């Protein structure tokens, strides 16, 4: 899981291990050549490691009160140089892991911040669209009410305009009646002519 999550850290750790081998050899050579390095750098951690290791083994074997014999100087210097080399490798590897963790955490945090900013922008856009839609609906209702009012006024004007036309049609229907009544005297005037012809025969 660590290798999958931190591929760069694993690569750096392997590189540090490879580089630590010549460095450990230099430490061993310095421990052999320098009395100060041997006495104060290599011997104390080597003797401590040897004491802890032997006490643990003796406890597991049941030897409670046995004393631990310290290592001789050459063996302690060799063991101290090995311990320093391994500590250097693990220190570099741990530092690489920590740096890679910080990098991944920073990327994740930036990704989350970008996602939150995008969601916030989307929410603001949706709220603005909702406000625009409400304004358009209010405008449509206001214009629809005004249109209904104008339609009612036009219908009233149309009804009042039909009144003169109805009066004209009524006057036109009453006109033929006098003409018919005037035709009656002409017919009655023709009757005396017919009656006057009878005495001549």
Residue 200 and residue 68: Cα distance in Å, rounded?
A: 189
The pLDDT-based confidence of 190 (bands split at 50, 70, 90) is very low
Confidence band for 115, pLDDT divided at 50, 70 and 90? very high
Which has more pLDDT, 199 or 113?
113
Taking alpha carbons only, the member of 14, 24, 92, 139 closest to residue 32 is: 24
Contact yes or no for 84/42 (Cβ under 8 A): yes
* Helix or strand run (H / E) with residue 66: none
As a whole number of angstroms, the distance between CA 162 and CA 168 comes to 10
pLDDT at 172 over 80: no
Q: What is the pLDDT of residues 55-83, one digit of tens each?
A: 888 888 887 767 888 888 888 888 888 88
Rounded CA gap, 193 and 82, in Å? 167
Whether the CA torsion 135, 139, 144, 145 is positive or negative: it is positive
Encoded tokens for 175: 């006109």
Rounded (5°) CA angle 39-41-45: 100
Q: Taking residues 42-46, what's their average pLDDT?
A: 89
**What pLDDT band is residue 184 in, cutting at 50, 70 and 90?**
very low
Q: Residue 5 above 60 pLDDT?
A: no
130-171: pLDDT as tens digits: 999 999 999 988 887 766 666 655 555 555 555 555 554 555
Which residues are within 8 A (CB) of 42 and not within 5 positions of it... i.e. 6 or more apart? 27, 31, 76, 77, 79, 80, 81, 84
SS (H, E, C) 113-162: HHHHHHHHHHHHHHHHHHHHHHHHHHHHHHHHHHHHHHHHHHHHHHHHHH
Share of the chain above pLDDT 70, in %: 64
Structure confidence at residue 127 (pLDDT): 94
How far is it, in rounded angstroms, from Cα 92 to Cα 16?
7
pLDDT at position 133, please? Answer: 93
pTM of the entire predicted model:
0.49
Residue in the structure block whose two tokens are 């409670």: 64
> In whole angstroms, what is the distance from residue 122 CA to residue 179 CA?
87
pLDDT mean over 114-142: 92
Percent of the chain with pLDDT over 90: 19
């Amino acid at each position: 899981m660590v290798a999958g999550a931190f591929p760069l850290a694993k690569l750096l750790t392997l590189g540090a291990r490879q580089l630590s081998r010549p460095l450990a050899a230099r430490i061993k050579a310095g421990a052999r050549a320098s009395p100060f390095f041997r006495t104060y750098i290599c011997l104390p951690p080597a003797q401590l490691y040897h004491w802890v290791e032997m006490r643990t083994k003796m406890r597991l074997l049941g030897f409670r009160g046995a004393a631990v014999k310290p290592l001789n100087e050459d063996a302690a210097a060799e063991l101290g140089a090995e311990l320093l080399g391994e500590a250097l490798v693990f220190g570099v590897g741990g530092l690489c892991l920590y740096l890679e963790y910080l990098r991944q955490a920073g990327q994740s945090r930036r990704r989350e911040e970008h996602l939150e900013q995008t969601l916030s922008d989307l929410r603001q856009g949706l709220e603005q669209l909702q406000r625009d839609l409400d304004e358009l609906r209010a405008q449509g209702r206001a214009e629809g009410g005004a249109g209904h009012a104008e339609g009612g006024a036009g219908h009233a004007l149309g009804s009042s305009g039909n009144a003169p036309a109805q009066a004209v049609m009524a006057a036109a229907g009453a006109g033929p009646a006098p003409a018919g009544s005037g035709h009656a005297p002409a017919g009655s005037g023709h009757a005396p002519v017919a009656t006057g012809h009878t005495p001549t025969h």
